[in-house]
Amino acid sequence: MDFLPINLRLRDQPVVLVGAGVVAARKARFLLGAGADLTVIAPEQDTQFRALASEHSLVWHQRPYGEGDLSNAILVIAATPDRSVNESVHREATSRGIPVNVVDSPDLCSFIFPAIVDRSPLTVAISSSGASPVLARSVRSRIEAMLPAATADIARFGQLHRDRIREVGASENERRIIWEQIINGPIAQLILSNRWQAAEQALAELLDGHKGLPPGEVYLIGAGPGDPELMTFKALRLLQRADIVLHDRLVNPDIVAMARRDADKLYVGKRRSDHSVPQERINELLVELAQEGKCVARLKGGDPFVFGRGGEEIELLAQKNIPFQVVPGITAGNAAACYAGIPLTHRDHAQSVRFVTGHTKDGKLHHRWEEFLSETETLVFYMGLVGLAIICRELIAHGRSPHTPVALIERATSPQQRLLRGTLSSIEALVESAQPQAPTLIIVGKVVSLADELRWYGSG
């Protein structure tokens, strides 16, 4: 993050703007809208600026900028076409410890103006850190379309009743839940429909019926294979409702960051021969946290019911009568195959697909290998990197052709995705040379040969 987004209270505060052209007029509108005590220094005013000055109260010094002009300012903006003047303004502001913005010169800025969606008192600021103002404006237009003008009324409604809700909610968590019921429920819809009296009545009923924290709940959420854009809407909604998030090693940190800022994050990930929290303890922890009244998001890579031990985790919840929801995610088998351009089924190559664990126990894989011999079935091995040699050896020994195509996909759906392709007889040597790291997924079958034609993502 190159610039930290903050909101400044500028009402009645001295701000200096050097320049009075078209660009300066845009900045002046922002500053005057925020109630700043604005002083403008410029030899001449543009037509737009003159019109703005006639509508608002500001001080204009009709002369060039000079050293010392910034002595009383708390904020400075330079918007002249003269680079040397802008640099002089930047030097003085910096020497005085005053935040300064030099228009179209990110290297001379200690702060920048974001693109703003104004639904005062609600405001949304979008910034590209100066890299692409056009992109920031494009994002702003999309957000504006999502937020009706009456959204401001919801914020004002909350402002009016903040003290009342603070009296009813004994704790911060309790108050947050009340606010969520207001903002995400029928009260907000009444406000958007300009039915304030009905909204007031609904709020009174909500607060009169409030009985403290509701019982806790657990959300078992499939986070998908890694790409945050593959999360479902429901997964994101529940994740942002959670008070605490328990997440695995395979969950992308960007997905964990989608949780509420004030939510606790607890890493309970497991890797081979290194379980930071034993599975039994995770199961117990979900129960304990829910019994404390917390909403708990259990984030698991891929889909929680496909080699994810999700069934084990909710079994204890069911026994203890803890409410829970399960949100499916895109399992790694589907995602890795799609991102590698390998259809798991195809009319000409494979009429079925089988998901198989590749996790070894005591150096062995305990499968009925004789069931894996169909040339028209795709085999997908999860967690098979360590057991690759066993997989290839056993399939060949039980009758699969050594020339059967094999793909190993490393870190599927991430920018670091890599695809290694060979056959049952050659893939081990390729892997030994490339040294891929977990997470990986192995696909065996004729459909692997389609990757040349259909592959669209990643390298390798």
Q: What DSSP state is assigned to residue 94?
A: H
Active site residue 300: no
How does residue 3 score in pLDDT terms, banded at 50, 70 and 90?
Answer: confident
Whether 363 shows a pLDDT value over 80: the answer reads no
- With cut-offs at 50, 70 and 90, classify the pLDDT of residue 273: low
Q: What is the mean pLDDT of residues 140-149?
A: 91
Question: Quick one: pLDDT at residue 293?
Answer: 85
**Predicted confidence (pLDDT) at residue 98 exceeds the cutoff of 90:** yes
- Reduced to 3 states (helix: H, G, I; strand: E, B; else coil), residue 168 is helix
Which of the given ranges, 20-34, 73-87, 207-221, 355-369, has the highest pLDDT on average? 73-87
pLDDT of residue 81: 92
CA distances from 225 to 55, 216, 229, 259, 447 (A): 56, 28, 10, 18, 21
Tell whether residue 302 is among the known ligand binding residues.
yes
Which amino acid, one-letter code, is at 303?
A: D
Catalytic residue, from 270, 294, 300, 446: name it: 270
pLDDT, residue 39, reads 96
Which one, of 231, 422, 430, 448, lies nearest residue 353 by Cα? 448
81 carries a ligand binding annotation: no
Burial class (CB in 10 A: 0-12, 13-18, 19+), 4: exposed
Angle between helices 151-168 and 196-208 (to 10 degrees): 30
Q: Whole-angstrom Cα distance, residue 148 to residue 20?
A: 33
Nearest to 358 by CA among 369, 344, 342, 343: 369
Residue type, 118: D
Annotated ligand binding at 23? The verdict is yes
Nearest to 46 by CA among 13, 89, 81: 81
pTM above 0.95, yes or no: no
Per residue in 436-454, pLDDT (tens digit) is 999 999 999 999 999 999 9
Query: Is 296 annotated as belonging to a binding site?
Result: no
Q: Are 384 and 428 in contact (CB under 8 A)?
A: no
pLDDT at 131: 83
320 is catalytic: no
Residue 460 has pLDDT above 60, yes or no: no
Residues contacting residue 14 through CB under 8 Å, at least 6 positions apart: 36, 37, 39, 72, 73, 74
Query: In whole angstroms, how large is the CA radius of gyration of the chain?
Result: 30
pLDDT band at 270; cut points 50, 70, 90: low
- Mean pLDDT across the chain, nearest whole number? 91
Give the three-state DSSP class for 104: coil
Report pLDDT digits (tens) over 294-331: 899 999 999 999 998 899 999 999 999 999 999 999 99
Q: Is 245 annotated as a binding residue?
A: no
- Average the pLDDT over each of 299-308, 343-352, 357-366 and give the range with the smallest value: 357-366
Tokens linked to 442: 């192995």
Q: Does 412 carry a binding-site annotation?
A: yes
37, 69, 153, 248: the active-site residue: 248
**How does DSSP assign 125-164, residue by residue?**
EE--TTS-HHHHHHHHHHHHHHS-TTHHHHHHHHHHHHHH
301 annotated as belonging to a binding site for a ligand: yes
Q: Tokens representing 412?
A: 């599927």
User: Average pLDDT for residues 6-19, to the nearest whole number?
Assistant: 94
**Domains of the chain in sequence order:** 14-113 (3.40.50.720), 151-208 (no CATH), 217-330 (3.40.1010.10), 333-454 (3.30.950.10)
Average pLDDT on 255-280 reads 82
Encode pLDDT of 393-423 as tens digits. Answer: 999 999 999 999 999 999 999 999 999 999 9
Per the model's pLDDT, the better-predicted residue between 57 and 212 turns out to be 57
What number is the average pLDDT over the span 213-229? 90
Average pLDDT over residues 89-114: 94
Instruction: Name the pLDDT band for 257 (thresholds 50, 70, 90).
Output: very high
pLDDT at 220 over 90: yes
